[in-house]
Amino acid sequence: MKSLKNLFFLLIFVGLIAAGVFYFRDTKAPQLSLIPGSVPISKKTKLLLSLNDAGTGIKNVQVMVIQGNNRLPLLKRDFPPQTGVVDLELDLSVLKLQEGALQIEVNATDQAIYHLGKGNTTQQLFTMTYDTRAPIISILSKAHNFTHGGSGLVTFGLNEEVKTAGVKFGNYFFPAFQQESGNYACLLAYPYNVKESDFVPRVIAVDLAGNERQLGIYYRANKKKFRQRKINISDRFLAQKIPEFEDLAPDVDNPLDIFLYVNRDIRQQNRDKIAGLSSKTASIPRWDGAFLRQPKAATLAQFADYRTYYYKGKQIDKQVHLGQDLASVAQAEIIAENSGEVIWAEYLGIYGLCVIIDHGLGLQSLYAHMSQLDVQSGDTVTRGQVIGRSGATGMAGGDHLHFGMFVSGVPVQPIEWWDAHWLQDNIDSKL
């Protein structure tokens, strides 16, 4: 009898322990996050609410929007047992909200029996600003003259802080940079390969809440006809240049096929690399007056020459030459054509040993085919400073300098930037 009584108390004791373990097995409330957090939002903003409960799982969630004295229900959801992770998209467009501050209140409860069966609850408030008004754009620059393949500048003001501002047309976007005055300056290009009908530049601004406004500008687009050129590829040229590129085409054996691979694929890769470097730019102009043309150098090729390549009388390729080829004497001193910071000083495929200098506002200059570099990445250079010597590295048939200019990674006509009158009328006077 005594043993039965002891067993009875033992079972009660074990049961109490088991009940205690069960009751206290989940005492942690669910975790939650809201993306974006406490930032300006608009009716277009999609809010992502993430819930996580590693214990008994999420039981329910309720979301309220509080604005002034109004509490507006946005979402209420129950979940089946063992729902550990939940992602919910909150759509504010279903509510009639006023401009200004608001709070989003989230209450999430788990499936635990803790707190006498009520479970663990997390409550969190997110304070935001509701903004549905697009930025106001004020165009400041007056005359906008663009030549096919050339550059231009637009300046404008905005009435609020933005996350994106610039000029766009088609698939092109040129970022604007805020200046000390508070206004914005945007260098842009009229790309050589864009038809006049597709060149319709518009200023675009997107504020912190995601509201977007676009505004057209008054402009004039001038046509320009680019030259057509024939380039004969000889066996002598292939024998001279192909050994330099064999490592870039390890799966190709024939010299002509290596040339074609480099002239097409590597050329595009190199241009993509240069376009990627455009983000390494200063937000203010670094140039000092007109760019200096290399002294006593003859022009061998021009910007946007359309080249057709022939081998033994047969057409084998077509490419566009996007720079000015300049030559004087072998291993001539090469100068920085304007002030800026060196952002590239090493080998780059078809350009061989080359230097790229950033001049601010997305403007960058390229010095290619060099035999010697006297600067390195990170150096600050001044207008007229010697940066190396000319050569024939890369896809060059002889000693010369390939000089290129880029606006936010888009190649542009260098001769404009050599012209002090053009620079004053179209760029510097607006700054």
138 forms beta bridges with: 157
Q: For residue 415, which of 426, 429, 405, 400 has the smallest C-alpha distance?
A: 405
Q: For residue 290, which of 431, 149, 416 has the smallest C-alpha distance?
A: 416
- pLDDT on residue 18: 43
137-222: CATH superfamily: Immunoglobulins (2.60.40.10)
Q: Reduce the DSSP state of residue 101 to 3 states and report it.
A: strand
Instruction: Name the segment(s) of the chain with CATH classification 2.60.40.10.
Output: 137-222
Show the tokens assigned to 216. Answer: 């057209």
**Cis? peptide before 36, omega within 30° of 0:** yes
Compute the half-sphere exposure of residue 7: CA atoms within 13 Å on the CB side of its CA. 4
User: CA–CA separation, 110 vs 81, rounded Å?
Assistant: 9
- pLDDT on residue 115: 60
Compute the half-sphere exposure of residue 360: CA atoms within 13 Å on the CB side of its CA. 20
CB 135, CB 207: distance < 8 Å: yes
Cβ burial of 272 (10 Å; 0-12, 13-18, 19+) is exposed
- pLDDT on residue 166: 98
| Regions in the chain scoring below 70 on pLDDT | 1-27, 114-117
Kindly give the pairing relationship between strand 85-91 and strand 46-52: antiparallel
Alpha helices by DSSP H, 75-185: none
- pLDDT on residue 152: 98
Strand (E) or helix (H) holding 389 = strand 386-389
- The CATH number of the structural domain formed by 25-130 is 2.60.40.2550
- pLDDT on residue 27: 66
Show the tokens assigned to 119. Answer: 């479970």
Residue position matching structure tokens 């330099």: 244
CB 103, CB 66: distance < 8 Å: yes
- pLDDT on residue 394: 94
Q: For residue 188, which of 206, 167, 215, 218 has the smallest C-alpha distance?
A: 167
- pLDDT on residue 112: 86
- The CATH number of the structural domain formed by 228-413 is 2.70.70.10
* Integer angstrom CA distances of residue 5 from 17, 19, 428: 18, 21, 101
Cα angle: 111, vertex 114, 117; to 5 degrees: 70
- pLDDT on residue 232: 95
User: CA–CA separation, 58 vs 55, rounded Å?
Assistant: 9
DSSP state of 57: -
Show the tokens assigned to 269. Answer: 């890769």
User: CA–CA separation, 11 vs 1, rounded Å?
Assistant: 15
63 forms beta bridges with: 75, 106
Instruction: Name the segment(s) of the chain with CATH classification 2.70.70.10.
Output: 228-413
- Cα-Cα-Cα-Cα torsion 378, 383, 389, 393, nearest 10 degrees, comes to 60
- pLDDT on residue 2: 57
- pLDDT on residue 247: 86
Instruction: Name the segment(s) of the chain with CATH classification 2.60.40.2550.
Output: 25-130
